[in-house]
Amino acid sequence: MQNYEQLGAFYLGQQYDLAKAELRPDLLLYDSKDLTTHAVCVGMTGSGKTGLCLSLLEEAAIDGIPAIIIDPKGDLGNLLLTFPNLQPEDFRPWIEESEAARKGLTADQYAAQTAKLWQDGLASTGQDASRIARLRSAADMAIYTPGSSAGLQLTVMRSFDAPSAAVMNDADALRERISASTSGLLALLGIDADPIRSREHILLSNIFHRAWSEGRSLDIAGLIREIQQPPFDRIGVMEMETFFPTNDRFGMSMQLNNLVASPSFASWMEGEPLDIKRLLYTPQGKPRLSIISIAHLSESERMFFVTILLNEFLSWTRSQPGTSSLRALLYMDEVFGYFPPTANPPSKQPMLTLLKQARAFGLGIVLATQNPVDLDYKGLSNTGTWFLGRLQTERDKMRVMEGLEGLSASGAPFDKGAMERTLAGLGKRVFLMHNVHEDGPVVFHTRWAMSYLRGPLTREHVKRLMQDRRGAQAQTPAPLPTPVAPGSSAAPRDRGRPAPRPVLSPGVPQTFLPTRQDPGERELVYEPKLIGLGRIQFIDRKTKKLKHAEEISLLLSLDDDDVDWRDAAETGVCREDLEPDPDEAVAFGSLPAAATKAKSYTTWRKNLADTLYRTGSFELHQSPSLGLISEPGESERDFRVRLADLAREKRDRQADTLRKKYARRLARLDERVRKAQQAVEREKQQASGSKMQTAISLGTTVLSAFLGRKKLSYGTLGRATTTMRGMGRVGKEKSDVRRAEANVSALQSQLEELNRELETELDELEDRLDPQTEELATTALRPRRSDIEVRLVALAWAPRGRTDDGSLTDLWS
């Protein structure tokens, strides 16, 4: 045979004479550089398409060309079924018992038969066991299963990182990356989003553009949060609430969050990051064939993953230096649905861009399908090589002819009649190769694949193949924290472990306490609190006047679902201090289930109003003597000073009143004393006159007797009698004087008593109105329900600093 081990040549088979139905001596050696203009392989089931494509990948591996292989059916894992010894025991673990039974053989017999078949097949195409050994040593092979633990796990949840500088500096590349990432994510959610008309697509595109323009990468948790609270207020010229209302955005974020929080989606968060260079080469620089099996995924998950992968491959491609040699391959089997002629699934744009641009960077794209009618042949106009096998329908042949005519329009010669005859004569493992780099089409028979083509691998087969690799999967990043739907039990709460900021219903009011202290070296952690802000008015029921208005600011720890406002602490935070967004934080404390429900805050708001009504009071000092109440904020000292002034005024008024009351009584007594004293004087004067007259009369009588009258005359006797009566009146007058004097003394005693009574009452008045010695009472004003205003009850995230020893310090106080 011709030597097929030539540098840069892929041994794909032997040329074939359709007319004679026999092999020609010339081998088909395909120049690897021709793959930089890409290739497409079309053939119905049973045409040998899978064998041809695996042979091409085997040749690439031997030539040191790495490849990323997208496997929607599970067939391409057969690349790992290579057995240099070609012994029955090598094949036995991969033999299907049912297949052997259908052939009337035991499994061991069927394994021996298969080993013999592969030995003969390889020998017929000039190959042997040594070439299999060469294949196995030339490249590393691995099966990745995103979203499953069967093979090596691969996460794409980190693929929303900011693109490279090369992409950011290319407006078209950035736009394509944003559009494809958005479309892929929405496809995962089952949203068929048009980039122009879909508000979901437009919102996500703007979020990606804003974050990446700022150099920020987005994880799923951050993306969910920014859907709910976008970092911008407008989309175009419209307000965000008009374009995409809060409740609708919350529904979208919940849809994404529920997907991520689903246990079935957990494996998407685990494994190696989607790194193109890592998939193409081992850490030691050895070429790798990375088979990415997506057979186990749903249609939407497949579309999402393929879109993300194509975008990553495109970004990596643009970061490579230009070359005309083949650097790497991207192969996709059964491309049906990912590159259709009319629809625009998320995968189509990055695939089309790769077909147009990858050749300049030495990257070959190889696509395979058994449904040619579902390929966009206009998009394949840059595809230089077509491998055409047996087609099933005339419609398939017509579509293939359309594609080939497109190549002809690009300058390649094309004989439509001859091509139709050739396609009609193709049989099993016989293909027509139309290569724009060759003079004309070539018909060839494929060589025997070195890999055992047993058909699709099951999950158990993949596990068996990757068992050792899974256990030693190097440098697997820790899984991302998974957002959990509010109130969901999908993931248990771990109070000891900080989590990302939870996604909450737009009905849940939340705010952030200010960070008033520099955290320094401490880790910034936001812990959940319940804040209550309000105002209580205390009104004097008697005067109907406002006595005091008290601002309420209460903070309560949210340790569990039970909330009792009586346990809240007074805080100096007012509404103006609160902030709508957090500082850049690394962690958030976990929430009890009740705190994730909007209706809880309605209940807690009512509870706060009820607690303030029942416990709210405002105490004031009260003077029982004056009936006065202190003013709000007035100290006891100041109140007593004020009372002293008021008491002095009141005392003076009452003293005046008292004196006026006693003045009349005193005046009357004074008048009576005066009159009594006048009566005494009069009685004394009368007594003095009577005494003098009697003395004169007595003297006259005695003198008459002494002057010589021998015997008393009648007149003398009369005068004596009168004198005696006068002496009696004198005695009476003296008695009257004594009585009048006694009356004066009694009245003076009454006057003195009244004065003493007045002085006593004045003294009592002074004692009674002495604010310095008065025992003040305390009175409490209580609010009416209408006097209570609850302004805010919300989830308040409180910044705290965590030190290396785990202790926490408030940064908001």
Q: Is 566 helix (H, G, I), strand (E, B) or coil?
A: helix
Contact 161, 480 (CB under 8 A): no
**Other Cβ atoms within 10 Å of 200 Cβ, number:** 21
Q: Where are the alpha helices (DSSP H) in 616-713?
A: 636-706
**C-alpha–C-alpha distance, residues 639 and 628, integer Å:** 10
Q: How far is it, in rounded angstroms, from Cα 517 to Cα 505?
A: 30
Q: Residue 804 belongs to what domain range?
A: 510-617+787-810
| 796 shares a domain with 768 | no
| Residue 236 falls inside a structural domain | yes
Task: Examine the domain organization and report whether 554 and 593 are in the same domain.
Answer: yes
Taking the chain (813 residues) in consecutive chunks of 10 residues, what is each chunk's mean pLDDT? 83 93 93 94 92 96 95 94 95 92 93 95 94 95 92 79 82 83 81 83 93 86 85 90 90 83 76 89 92 92 89 87 91 91 86 91 93 79 89 81 67 70 89 90 95 93 89 48 40 45 82 83 85 85 71 85 84 84 76 87 91 79 72 72 70 72 74 73 69 61 56 54 59 67 74 75 64 69 83 89 80 79
Residues 6+ apart with CB under 8 A from 151: 142, 143, 144, 145, 293, 462, 463, 465, 466, 470
Is 26 inside any structural domain?
Answer: no
What CATH number did the domain enclosing 463 receive? 3.40.50
* Side chain identity, residue 127: Q
645 shares its domain with 703: yes
Separation between Cα atoms, residue 331 and residue 280, nearest integer Å? 12
Round to whole Å and give the CA distance between 515 and 810. Answer: 9
Strand partners, 789: 535
Closest CA to 71 of 275, 338, 282, 314: 338
Tokens of 168: 């950011």
Domain CATH for 722: 1.10.287.620
For residues 447 and 128, give the distance between their C-alpha atoms in angstroms, rounded to a whole number. 12
Separation between Cα atoms, residue 740 and residue 676, nearest integer Å? 6
pLDDT for res 164:
78
Decide which of 450, 470, 490 is a domain's last residue: 470
Per-residue pLDDT, 493? 38
> Are the C-beta atoms of 361 and 35 separated by less than 8 Å?
no
Q: Which residues contact 760 (CB under 8 A, 6 or more apart)?
A: none
- Judge whether 13 lies within some domain: no
Tell me, yes or no, if the pTM score tops 0.75.
no
Same-domain pairing of 711 and 613: no
**How many CB atoms sit inside 10 A of residue 790's CB?**
19
Helix (H) or strand (E) holding 774: none
168 and 306 inside one domain: yes
780 CB burial (10 A radius; 0-12, 13-18, 19+)? exposed
Q: Does 459 share its domain with 517? A: no
From residue 367, give the alpha-carbon distance in Å to each of 39, 333, 358: 6, 6, 14
Looking at 340-393, list the stretches that DSSP marks H as alpha helix, in order from N- to C-terminal side.
348-357
191 lies in the same domain as 326: yes
Same-domain pairing of 806 and 748: no
Give the CA angle between residues 288, 293, 295 to the nearest 5°: 165
8 A C-beta contact, residue 680 and residue 741 = yes
In a domain, 420, yes or no: yes
Q: To 10 degrees, what angle do helices 348-357 and 171-188 make?
A: 150
As beta bridge partners, residue 793 has 532
CB-based contact 451:58 (threshold 8 Å): yes
Residue 426 lies in a domain: yes
531 and 650 within one domain: no
Rounded Cα gap, residues 432 and 446, in angstroms? 10
Q: Is the CB of residue 74 less than 8 Å from the CB of residue 295?
A: yes
Query: Could you tell me the two tokens for 492?
Result: 């248990």
Residue 483 in any domain: the answer is: no
Domain tally for the chain?
3
- Alpha carbon distance 254, 811 (integer Å): 31
Measured CA to CA in angstroms, residue 510 lies from 588, 610, 792, 797 at distances of 13, 22, 10, 8
Q: Residues 795, 762: one domain?
A: no
Give the pLDDT of residue 457: 93
Cβ neighbourhood burial of 489 (10 Å; 0-12, 13-18, 19+): exposed
Gyration radius of the chain's alpha carbons: 57
What is the C-alpha to C-alpha distance for residues 655 and 635, in angstroms, rounded to an integer?
29
Q: Do 797 and 771 belong together in one domain?
A: no
Largest CA distance in the chain: 225
585 and 658 housed in the same domain = no
User: Is 480 strand, coil or helix?
Assistant: coil
Q: What is the pLDDT of residue 180?
A: 77
State the Cα angle at 33 between 28 and 37, rounded to 5°: 100
Quick one: which of 587, 578, 581 has its CA closest to 524? Answer: 587
Classify burial at 242, counting beta carbons within 10 Å of its beta carbon; exposed 0-12, middle 13-18, buried 19 or more.
Answer: exposed
Q: Residue 78 domain-assigned?
A: no
**Spatial separation of the C-alpha atoms in residues 644 and 642, rounded to whole Å:** 5
In a domain, 194, yes or no: yes
pLDDT (0 to 100) of residue 398: 81
Q: State both tokens at 273.
A: 């990051």
